[in-house]
A and B are shown apart, each in its own frame.
Chain A
Amino acid sequence: MPRDNSIKSILIIGSGPIIIGQACEFDYAGSQASRSLREEGIEVTLINSNPATIMTDKVTADNVYLLPLEKKSIIEILEKHQIDAVLPTMGGQTALNLAIECEKAGVWEKYGVKVVGVDFEAIETTEDRERFRLKMLEIGVGVCEGSTATSFLEGKEIAQKIGFPLVIRPSYTLGGTGGGFVEDAAHFDEALTKGLHASPIHEVLVEKSIMGWKEYELELLRDGNGNVIIICSIENFDPMGIHTGDSITVAPAMTLSDVTYQRMRDMAIKMMNAIGQFAGGCNVQFSLSPDQEEIIAIEINPRVSRSSALASKATGYPIAKIAAKLAIGYNLDELKNAITKTTSAYFEPALDYVIVKIPRWNFDKFKGADRSLGLQMKSVGEAMGIGRTFQEAFQKACQSLEIKRNGLGADGKELTNQAEILHSLKNPSWNRVFHVYDAFKMGIPFKTIYNATKIDPWFLNQIEEMLMLEKEIERYTLDTLPKQLLVDAKEKGYADRQIAHLLKCLESEVYAKRNDLGIKRVYKLVDTCAAEFEAKTPYYYSTFDGENESEVSTKKKIVVLGSGPNRIGQGIEFDYSCVHGILAAKECGYETIMINCNPETVSTDFDIADKLYFEPVFWEHIYDIILHEKPEGVIVQLGGQTALKLAEKLDRYGIKILGTSFQALDLAEDRGSFSSLLRDLNIHYPKFGVIEDAEQAVQLSRTLGFPLLVRPSYVLGGQGMKIVINEEELETHVVNILKDIPGNKVLLDHFLDGAVEVDADAICDGEEVYIIGIMEHIEPAGIHSGDSHSLLPSFNLSENVKQQITDITTKIALALRTVGLINVQYAVKNEVVYVIEANPRASRTVPFICKAYDEPYVNYATKVMLGEKKVKDFKFEPKLNGWAIKIPVFSFNKFPGVNKELGPEMKSTGEAIYFIDSLQDDYFVKLYNERNLYLSR
């Protein structure tokens, strides 16, 4: 069937603030869907309360509503616009739930809105565990033994019937919240109560445990004609028992025979057809018994998901784009493959490479959190590595994590305590895979490792093989190392730094040697078809193989460095900035090159930059790309701390940093030099000092006076930051920091108790400064700026203070010779303005200000960085009546038992925007009155 021409305008519902289990993959999906629909001439209206999204940008949609995801907001939109259809499958469970709420209230019917891309019956079937189980039994698909309980007593009865170990899965929860394994009767009561409470309808599924079985996922697309294709098969490296969002996953499936894979494919199609006849995407999870290959269906999600974002990046097949087209009536056979542009979209991608996704956790932010992995998702981001082989992809994924490792092993950070290793293998946490490696290195037998982890022997063998190579390399020195071994190591994804560690030499020496021997990175295409057809889309990954497919153009070009895996303090905001940076550079006629390894992002979509290198934001990979492409320069100020950290080395290697120079970036980071600068400029700052051990700290505290803000230098999101009130606390905290970050220079600031914090962001071209926004925090100083509510513009500052802030921001921006964006944080006490810190880069608040004022500041700043424009060239027209409140959103429910008190270390995972007309607004008044509630000190 061709496109349904009755649909001329569509509403897309977003997923709201980032929380664990629902992150920026939905911005990726929503943006892609929106672009896909606009391509068809459809007017797209978007609703999302998350300002840091590309989907809510004018570049993406025709009408944007930054409103709370509530029925009320939907009605408001439907009153204003003639909406023909709503697409609720791009915004995760949040969007689906809102669509269901509106359906139940008859909203869609009342306004004549057609619901496309989904079937509410299907959602009910898939979300209600008992209905799902019965449906599967009806179509002859195996499911786990178990049944649902809506009361404590019922739950107890079921457990008695099926026995232990078992699993509790609450109905209608996100990312497995409240679920878990129960080993024995002793732990059952507590787990059952928790599960029932977690479910909004007080219902749990009590199921037989199939822990240790192999786990797979298939991504499906179906059109209105009943054609179904499988976009990707994904195999979990971690067997059943760990939430798929917390599992290391691999695509394509590595250990499935065709017979078993086809059985799974048949079941997946049968399942999708059984739950309803909608046109759109679907994710199915299976479990496979390793002995007899019995297949059990775990769940089915009739929407675009985190896994489909991964599958899109893994295969090159734009699932959300095509799903949107299917939703408006197209059939798969009527669409073209977006990568080849000549073959059909109706096909199943073939991969000639491997991808490995590794989740990124942030347990360090949640003191006291249970760090074990289980049914409930706890990771905050993910990195994906692409390689020609599993080992290469695996090493690249490890190099992308930014956890101070150089990859998997070979960096001297191995754990060598046998008991600890064995415990970790059996009780997985974020670092288990590193301990699998350590176990092999220590010589713990293969069988023992397998029995403890149940990780498929094929994967274990891959790791063991890597260690065999390492041991061989260690027999040589750099001079005696045979070429073949160096080739082997590079092909297996080892970084020069890792090889240097094995050979006890310098990274640069390894680099020089491999360069002399002609062992060079080449770039291959992700093309959906294993090179069978010519691809038009420049989506590359590096490997060590024969042919280089990345041809360098003669155009002037720039590189934008991305921000790596999402984590607390560095997330979607930087993706937003990167996308705008790319678009602005394109407008100026540059060929744009994006480097990032985060599969959840819009900036790594194949049609954003002119060239995408899906590579670790890791020196070696970046340097090789730069040598290959020879860009005019590199933009580091849009990719957060990750990109910024590379500035020094780029500078040292003579690579031009576009915009603010490395020297200025460094000056702002270095507290000593920065303070001298402030002193010279006659600017106030809290009394401070730098110490290197606890003894110095105590000495210094006597001159500075308590309370003191203690913070390590060069960290993200206030990591390790704490306010201390006496010498004992100070000592303990300093010792802790130096244990975690040896050799760090710790800063002690006199803490301005009761001060008000203010953020100012500005664009500077080196000569002129334009302040894009001043945001005033509602909570008093002491809470990390990312965790506090704040208002744009300020609401309680005197004219005098505002003027001081404007003047100081201007002075600092000019003194740092800023070219691009700068963010300055202030504390205001008794009409005196103190500078806390300055960051000459895109800050977390920039997207918020852009959205609140409806102005493209990142675009402007990028043009300034490129030297194409001056500040005076822009016509600034901020549009805002009233105020915009930035609301931090937390994911504490994923970490029961964690202290919810807020402090100088950031803990929020996302944010929402909320507009108010006056300061008498009820919501604001309540916030203001409760501003001291969560302050830990």
Chain B
Amino acid sequence: MKYTPRKEAILLLEDGEVFSGYSVGIIGITTGELCFNTGMTGYQEIYTDPSYFGQIIVNTNSHIGNYGVTDLEQESSNPKFSGLVCKDFSKVYSRNLADNSLQNYFEKFNIVGIEGIDTRKLVRHLRSKGAMNAIISSSEMDITILKSQLAEVPSMKGLELSSKVTTDAAYYLGNESSSYKVAVLDLGVKKSILTNLVDRDCYLKVFPAKSSFEDMKAWNPNGYFISNGPGDPEAVPYAVETVKHILNEDHPLFGICLGHQVLALANGISTYKMHHGHRGLNHPVLNLLTGKGEITSQNHGFAVRMEDVAVSATVKATHVNLNDDTVEGIRVIGKKAFSVQYHPESSPGPHDSRYLFDDFISLLK
């Protein structure tokens, strides 16, 4: 091996801040909402999680790519995020079970990234200024041109993205002879959520985001699952409508992340765009029903308003974040419907919250 100089790249933020680094993936330009994830493992799962659609990820871990990629650890068929920002990108990897390097994988899926960035400085910047859009470029280095391109990127607030990542047509998953039938509303579902349900003896029919309640009900499921997904929850009124119908007929319902926000909206509880969100594998959550804690995997830029939950007659909080007291879980009073803001399926992240899938199954019985 020989020393090879790296190709320069630029990261420009909406507020004009510029970071220079080196190109990762293909040479090109990408844009999106810049957000950071503090997880120290699980980069492939993050990049393929549809909830990150339209976002540029800053991985705070020092090294990215060390253990390559494998088809077995995808959360959807291909990367969904817009681009990568990291400190050190490992072009070589070491893992017997991996099929490829992250660099080759990025090249295959046309991903643009940048390394050599002081991600700590960047995180501190986002922490104080809040989430914002950004552009990464390794082809065009003229800041003025990049600025004008960046100006065209819409804000995440009010953005509807589920229809861009949802399945085109309904499909089935699992064993037809399973004990339970669960209808999944795919707003950008992660594969491991589906696996967790299938592993618990569920036969799934996964519906496109804009499916009506009638479409889903026609399959005659035992319960409904409202998935995670990208974008602003206020921009998916169609899903809120569907959930209202499910609640009206009092079917078992479980929502995760965007699904949780949709359940809240269906109960007249408002959501808001957070300052810079929660993304990582170490967020502490207290289960108010059991008094036990759980370390959770999180990825959300919007949240359910605590003030609304506190005064709601129909919904009560079941889980709360120990760092900032935000809502982490709710239950609809007198109904078989509950949801959590975080990711009990983890992938990546700790398995502390998998019991929620069991809770859902017990509602189906």
Q: Which residues of A contact B (CB under 8 A)?
A: 225-227, 229, 233, 252-259, 261-262, 265-266, 290-293, 331-333, 342-344, 346-354, 388-390, 456-458, 461, 464-465, 468-469, 471-472, 484, 524, 529-534, 545-547, 549
Asked whether A351 and B61 contact (CB < 8 A) given A227-B292, A258-B349, A461-B92, the answer is yes
Cα A524 to Cα B62 in complex, Å, equals 13
Partner of B120, one of A259, A389, A461, A545: A545
Once the chains bind, are A258 and B293 in contact (CB under 8 Å)? no
Once the chains bind, are A347 and B123 in contact (CB under 8 Å)? no
Partner of B2, one of A229, A344, A346, A468: A468
Asked whether A257 and B73 contact (CB < 8 A) given A461-B92, A484-B5, the answer is yes
25 CB-based A-B contacts, threshold 8 Å: A252-B40, A254-B63, A255-B66, A255-B95, A257-B73, A265-B350, A265-B351, A291-B96, A346-B295, A347-B282, A347-B283, A347-B323, A348-B281, A350-B60, A352-B60, A388-B88, A457-B92, A458-B93, A464-B1, A484-B5, A530-B36, A530-B38, A530-B280, A545-B118, A547-B124
Asked whether A225 and B123 contact (CB < 8 A) given A266-B351, A352-B60, the answer is no
> In chain B, what residue has the closest Cβ to A350?
B38
> In chain A, what residue has the closest Cβ to B280?
A350
Once the chains bind, are A457 and B94 in contact (CB under 8 Å)? yes
Write the nearest CB–CB distance from A762 to chain B, whole angstroms. Answer: 48
Once the chains bind, are A226 and B280 in contact (CB under 8 Å)? no
Residues of B within 8 A of A259 (CB): 72-73, 347
Once the chains bind, are B61 and A352 in contact (CB under 8 Å)? yes
Write the nearest CB–CB distance from A491 to chain B, whole angstroms. Answer: 8
Once the chains bind, are A257 and B95 in contact (CB under 8 Å)? yes
Once the chains bind, are A532 and B280 in contact (CB under 8 Å)? yes
Once the chains bind, are B323 and A344 in contact (CB under 8 Å)? yes
Once the chains bind, are A226 and B292 in contact (CB under 8 Å)? yes
Cα A333 to Cα B283 in complex, Å, equals 12
Write the nearest CB–CB distance from B73 to chain A, whole angstroms. Answer: 6
Residues of A within 8 A of B346 (CB): 262
Is B242 in the interface zone, CB < 8 Å from A?
no
> Which residues of B from 117 to 148 have beta carbons under 8 Å from A?
118-121, 123-124, 127
Cα A333 to Cα B70 in complex, Å, equals 36
Once the chains bind, are A389 and B73 in contact (CB under 8 Å)? no
Is B208 in the interface zone, CB < 8 Å from A?
no
> In chain B, what residue has the closest Cβ to A340?
B323
> Which residues of B from 1 to 27 have beta carbons under 8 Å from A?
1-3, 5, 19
Write the nearest CB–CB distance from B99 to chain A, whole angstroms. Answer: 12
Residues of B within 8 A of A229 (CB): 295
Partner of B292, one of A225, A262, A472: A225
Residues of A within 8 A of B283 (CB): 347
Once the chains bind, are A390 and B295 in contact (CB under 8 Å)? no
Is B342 in the interface zone, CB < 8 Å from A?
no
With contacts A255-B67, A262-B351, A350-B39 known, what are 18 further pairs, Cβ within 8 A? A225-B293, A227-B292, A257-B44, A262-B350, A291-B96, A293-B96, A331-B293, A343-B324, A350-B61, A352-B38, A389-B62, A389-B63, A389-B87, A458-B93, A468-B2, A530-B36, A547-B124, A549-B124
> Which residues of B from 25 to 42 have beta carbons under 8 Å from A?
36, 38-42
Asked whether A530 and B41 contact (CB < 8 A) given A389-B62, A457-B94, the answer is no
Sort chain B's interface into a size bin.
35 or more
> In chain A, what residue has the closest Cβ to B282?
A348
> In chain B, what residue has the closest Cβ to A440?
B1
Residues of A within 8 A of B67 (CB): 255-257, 458
Residues of B within 8 A of A484 (CB): 5
Residues of B within 8 A of A343 (CB): 322-324
Once the chains bind, are A352 and B96 in contact (CB under 8 Å)? no
Residues of B within 8 A of A261 (CB): 41
Once the chains bind, are B292 and A531 in contact (CB under 8 Å)? no
Partner of B96, one of A262, A292, A332, A350: A292
Is B45 in the interface zone, CB < 8 Å from A?
yes
Once the chains bind, are A390 and B62 in contact (CB under 8 Å)? yes
Once the chains bind, are A349 and B124 in contact (CB under 8 Å)? no
Is B348 in the interface zone, CB < 8 Å from A?
yes
Partner of B90, one of A225, A256, A458: A458
One digit per residue, 1 when the CB lies within 8 angstroms of any chain A CB and 0 when it does not, for chain B 210-227 equals 000000000000000000
Cα A262 to Cα B72 in complex, Å, equals 15
> In chain A, what residue has the closest Cβ to B323?
A343
Is B291 in the interface zone, CB < 8 Å from A?
yes
> In chain B, what residue has the closest Cβ to A266?
B351
Write the nearest CB–CB distance from A770 to chain B, whole angstroms. Answer: 49
Once the chains bind, are A530 and B322 in contact (CB under 8 Å)? no
Once the chains bind, are A344 and B284 in contact (CB under 8 Å)? yes
Residues of A within 8 A of B284 (CB): 332-333, 344, 346-347
Residues of B within 8 A of A390 (CB): 62-63
Cα A120 to Cα B1 in complex, Å, equals 55
Write the nearest CB–CB distance from B337 to chain A, whole angstroms. Answer: 26
Residues of B within 8 A of A354 (CB): 62-63
Is B151 in the interface zone, CB < 8 Å from A?
no
Cα A353 to Cα B98 in complex, Å, equals 25
Write the nearest CB–CB distance from A156 to chain B, whole angstroms. Answer: 36
Is B310 in the interface zone, CB < 8 Å from A?
no
Cα A472 to Cα B45 in complex, Å, equals 37
Residues of A within 8 A of B347 (CB): 258-259
Write the nearest CB–CB distance from B136 to chain A, whole angstroms. Answer: 16
Residues of B within 8 A of A472 (CB): 3
Residues of B within 8 A of A545 (CB): 118, 120-121
Residues of A within 8 A of B70 (CB): 257
Asked whether A469 and B3 contact (CB < 8 A) given A262-B346, A290-B96, the answer is yes
Cα A353 to Cα B291 in complex, Å, equals 34
Write the nearest CB–CB distance from B42 to chain A, whole angstroms. Answer: 3
Asked whether A332 and B293 contact (CB < 8 A) given A389-B62, A389-B88, the answer is yes
Cα A545 to Cα B118 in complex, Å, equals 6
Cα A191 to Cα B351 in complex, Å, equals 43
Residues of A within 8 A of B88 (CB): 388-389
Once the chains bind, are A547 and B118 in contact (CB under 8 Å)? yes
Is B333 in the interface zone, CB < 8 Å from A?
no
Cα A84 to Cα B123 in complex, Å, equals 46
> In chain A, what residue has the closest Cβ to B346?
A262
Write the nearest CB–CB distance from A837 to chain B, whole angstroms. Answer: 46
Write the nearest CB–CB distance from B57 to chain A, whole angstroms. Answer: 13
Asked whether A346 and B62 contact (CB < 8 A) given A333-B286, A547-B124, the answer is no
Asked whether A456 and B73 contact (CB < 8 A) given A258-B45, A531-B127, the answer is no
Residues of A within 8 A of B73 (CB): 257-259
Write the nearest CB–CB distance from B75 to chain A, whole angstroms. Answer: 11
Once the chains bind, are A468 and B3 in contact (CB under 8 Å)? yes
Residues of B within 8 A of A388 (CB): 62, 87-88
Residues of B within 8 A of A546 (CB): 19, 118, 121
> In chain A, what residue has the closest Cβ to B290?
A225
Write the nearest CB–CB distance from B6 to chain A, whole angstroms. Answer: 9
Once the chains bind, are A333 and B282 in contact (CB under 8 Å)? no
> In chain A, what residue has the closest Cβ to B5?
A484
Cα A255 to Cα B36 in complex, Å, equals 21
Is B274 in the interface zone, CB < 8 Å from A?
no
- Return the 8 tightest CB-CB contacts between A and B, nearest first: A258-B42, A546-B118, A258-B348, A458-B94, A547-B121, A344-B322, A258-B41, A530-B60
Residues of A within 8 A of B173 (CB): none
Write the nearest CB–CB distance from A342 to chain B, whole angstroms. Answer: 8
Most buried by B among A252, A262, A353, A533: A262
> Which residues of B from 77 to 115 have beta carbons under 8 Å from A?
87-88, 90, 92-98
